[in-house]
Amino acid sequence: MNAVEAFDAVDLIRTKRDRGELSTDQIDWLVDAYTRGYVADEQMSAMAMAIFLNGMSRREIRDMTMAMLASGERLDFSALGKPTTDKHSTGGVGDKITLPLMPLVASFGVAVPQLSGRGLGHTGGTLDKLESFPGWRAELSNEEVFAQLRDVGGVICAAGAGLAPADKKLYALRDITGTVEAIPLIASSIMSKKIAEGTGALVLDVKFGSGAFLKDIERSRELARTMVELGEDAGVATSALLTNMNVPLGLTIGNANEVRESVEVLAGGGPADVRELTIALAREMLELAGVADADVERALDDGRAMDTWRASIRAQGGDPDAPMPVAKEQHVVTADRDGVLLRQDALSFGIAAWRLGAGRARKEDPVQHAAGIDLHAKPGDEVRAGQPLFTLHADQPARFARALESVEGAWEIGDAGAAVQDGGPLIAERIGR
């Protein structure tokens, strides 16, 4: 005989639909029953939409997070005998910060377990970028992750299927039901995975602006506060930086070209914004892990972070000296007049890179590692008529037309002295203890 279920999904959906609160027991049951397939996708879709429309209390969000955490395993790195610290970004255009950040922080003797994902839509995925190295392996066993943290100090790899399986199922459903952009669902999704990963400290890079999930800073602030509270409640030292994603980060959007730019940062150079954010996040991660006043700039400039990077690529089967793939076709867009670049919209450029083949429309699609965009100017830069503004890279020239459509009207050259797109400072706020 089948076990008697504690609740009825329809009752719970009605409660949320009518703006009621779900109890801890109801949320525990819902997440568990959905994970084992008793609650159907149709029912969970209705629930996700009710949450999207009516929200959840802080207590409900905490219960949702803990229920998704309990759906899988929780890693434990205490046997390493050193502190662990990690960073999570809510995703943006040209956001390659994880690549230089992991080895930089690990070079201070703090373990960095960076369990990452693949890109979907216009925001890139860290694993897709690293797979530009032929032979580099994203999938590691828990034992391999532990060994790499012990021997190299840091690891960037795929989050295993055992971590928060309820979230994997629910996130895939949200993706096709228009329910991704709900703060309770984003917060519980991200934090259940990060708590499961077993890190002792966590810094959240919460983006706002055109290229971010949440466009306005107020909603990003609310998301950041919610996630910081969830982390602290679970015993993870957590803070957040609110960072500007109105303009692409750095001068590259894609995969292989973003690796190239990350290596420049690890060599002490690279674009100023990528270096600034890498340094700020590294300081935050180290402080939360108990390493005060670390000379982070020095570790970039003297090659220590680069040594850790090279060791980590090698440990996962890649060759850090391998040439990055190059696309078969290029299309250069030039300035049509003298003046100053006033605008460069992150979302439009992100979509263009995706249309060139750098991203995927469906989870199972491959990405083209050499596809993407190199920017030759940023807002505020003076340009001359005929000067290259950006270069599109693709393997199939047929992709250029749709990519160009996406950036139409997304950039603008004006007279010297005209107002440059007001992106504000790159790092707008810090949230945390």
Binding footprint of ligand URA on the chain (CB under 6 A): 171, 180, 185-186, 189-190
- DSSP code of residue 318: -
Give the CA radius of gyration of the chain: 22
Rank residues 92 and 250 by Cβ distance to ligand URA and give the closer one.
92
Number of H helices, E strands in the chain: 16, 13
Q: Which of 16, 193, 283, 399 is catalytic?
A: 193
Contact, 149 vs 77, CB < 8 A? yes
Instruction: Please state, in angstroms and rounded to a whole number, the distance separating the CA atoms of residues 380 and 284.
Output: 29
Rank residues 180 and 311 by Cβ distance to ligand URA and give the closer one.
180
Q: SS3 for 268?
A: coil
* Burial environment of residue 228 by CB neighbours within 10 A (0 to 12, 13 to 18, 19 or more): buried
Q: Which of 62, 87, 88, 399 is catalytic?
A: 88
Rank residues 189 and 368 by Cβ distance to ligand URA and give the closer one.
189
Instruction: Please state, in angstroms and rounded to a whole number, the distance separating the CA atoms of residues 267 and 299.
Output: 10
Measured from the CB of residue 187, what is the shortest distance to ligand URA in angstroms? Answer: 8
Measured from the CB of residue 180, what is the shortest distance to ligand URA in angstroms? Answer: 6
What is the number of the residue whose Cβ is closest to ligand URA? 189
Known catalytic membership, residue 189: yes
Rank residues 189 and 312 by Cβ distance to ligand URA and give the closer one.
189
Rank residues 92 and 103 by Cβ distance to ligand URA and give the closer one.
92
Contact, 166 vs 47, CB < 8 A? no
Measured from the CB of residue 170, what is the shortest distance to ligand URA in angstroms? Answer: 9
Known catalytic membership, residue 174: yes
Known catalytic membership, residue 275: no
Measured from the CB of residue 351, what is the shortest distance to ligand URA in angstroms? Answer: 18
Show the tokens assigned to 429: 């706020």
Q: Which of 129, 168, 174, 283 is catalytic?
A: 174
CA 309, distance to chain mean position in Å, is 19
Known catalytic membership, residue 215: no
Q: Which of 167, 205, 345, 374 is catalytic?
A: 167
Q: SS3 for 296?
A: helix
The residues assigned a catalytic role are 88, 167, 174, 189, 193
